[in-house]
Structure formats: structure tokens, C-alpha cells
Structure 1
């Protein structure tokens, strides 16, 4: 388990309904929060974060959904890293990145995309459910 040890300079946490609408809202609010922190819409960091949040939130509402339970998005900004965490209530369904989805597969590319965009990613247990996290190194992203 990889945990970030640096102190966040900024943090955002919000819960969303475990629906497609909740997943879209999570992506929208993530880029809005990054803009408030000085990372403009359509910057490389904003676009990267939007894709990662979209994939992790989609997985949370598709595979981690428990009726009546929300999922949670947390963004932690440090001087060097943006950490994206999405938590859901299904601890027994742990995702694994697939090597290569079949060319005609309609699903299975989400975590491959997350792995390609993030420095690292993983899964952490929590008292109820799990947290999927991804770290994006700011120095590797050209900030506008």
C-alpha cells in the first residue's frame, strides 16, 4: 500500500450519489476545484485529472455501488503531487488493471488509462468499502 506522506497544501472532499449523474458531477467539480486552485480549465493537469476522476467515478458507480450509499471524491494537492481518491462501499470488489483488453471489447480500458496517466495508483481498504487512488506528479504536467 502506497501512502502519500507529504502534507497537503489544499484538499477537497465531496460525496456524490452512486449514479451516472453523480459521476459526471464529480468530474465537473474536480476541474472546477483545480481551477480555483490556479490550474485552469483545459490545462494538461485539469484534463488529466478529469479523465482519472471520470474513470474512477464510473467504476465506483458501476462496480462499487451499494444501494443507498454514496461514493466520495477527495483531491489532495501538495507542492509536487495531485492525489485523486475515489471511495465506494464495496470492499470485496477490488479492481485490477487488465493488460490488454480485446480490440472489440466495449469495456476494460479504464484502469489501463488511469495507469498510463498517473505516476502510480492503487487500492486502500477502509472501514466500509475501499479507496482507489491515483497520484499525478505536477512537475510532469505542463502547467499553463
Structure 2
């Protein structure tokens, strides 16, 4: 991020429960990171956004609801938060994800790309977040 000016303001956008929300969230993240002057690890941040948004749509957003994507400057990095109203606590799968088939790799990717990640409470639902250092 450009240190010559004030830190960038957090950005957020609400998405509906529909497939096109994931590519829209990626585009929003890319645009925000470019505005903030983030180039190093921008692809990692965008991939984390994609995986967390997909997980929210598949597991955390009941019909008629949506999810909130929030991007925040965080120390020497970027914090990604996806807020949804679903139940449950996501976890990295403990099975062998090298097996053929779809699914089960999103949080594994996030856990490998992000410096840290976690789940916070929200009423209703949860916030799944990650932080990616860009320095």
C-alpha cells in the first residue's frame, strides 16, 4: 500500500446468493487492491476472496439472503472478511484432498495462502476472515 498518503479506507460490498457473485467479488477485490496500490500478493488475496465467497454461497447463505465481503487494510497487509448468516463453523478438511472430485479445497487453499485465518461470531451467522501480508 502506498505509505505516502493516508491508509486506505475499508471497502465492502453485499452480494446476492447467485453464482455470478463470486466473479463479481473477485473483480471488486482486484479493483480495490489496485486502488490501494497493492501489487505484491494481490493474486493470493483475490484467490482467498474467491474461495471464501464460494464457501459462503455453498454453505453459509440461506435462500433469499446474501453475503458481505469486506476488505480492510491490516498492518502490512490486507484482511478479507466474508460475513454470512449460515450456521456451522468451517474447518480445513482432514481427509485426503488429492482424491478426485470437487469441493473441500477452499479452506485448505486459504490456510496455505493466508498468514492467518479464522472464524468469528455474528448474529445470525459467522464471519470467515483471513489476513495476507503484502510487505
Calculate the TM-score normalised by the size of structure 2.
0.88
The 8 Å contact of residues 40 and 134 in structure 2, kept in 1 or not, is answered as: no
After TM superposition, the runs of 4+ consecutive aligned structure 1 residues lying more than 3 A away are none
What's the CA shift for 1:78? 3.2
- Equivalent in the alignment of 2:17: 18
Q: Note the 1:1-144 alignment, pairs <5 A.
A: 9-39=8-38, 43-90=39-86, 92-99=87-94, 100-139=96-135
CA deviation string 1:3-52 (max 9, x = no partner): xxxxx74210110112111121011101101101112xxx4422111100
What's the CA shift for 1:102? 4.2
Moved more, 51-60 or 18-27: 18-27
Equivalents in 2 of 1:50, 1:98: separation in Å?
21
- Equivalent in the alignment of 2:3: none
Equivalents in 2 of 1:115, 1:32: separation in Å?
23
Calculate the TM-score normalised by the size of structure 1.
0.82
Equivalents in 2 of 1:46, 1:137: separation in Å?
10
What's the CA shift for 1:104? 1.4
Q: Any idea what SS the aligned residue of 2:10 has?
A: strand
Q: Any idea what SS the aligned residue of 1:63 has?
A: helix
Structure 2 gaps of 5+ residues are 1-6
The 8 Å contact of residues 9 and 79 in structure 1, kept in 2 or not, is answered as: no
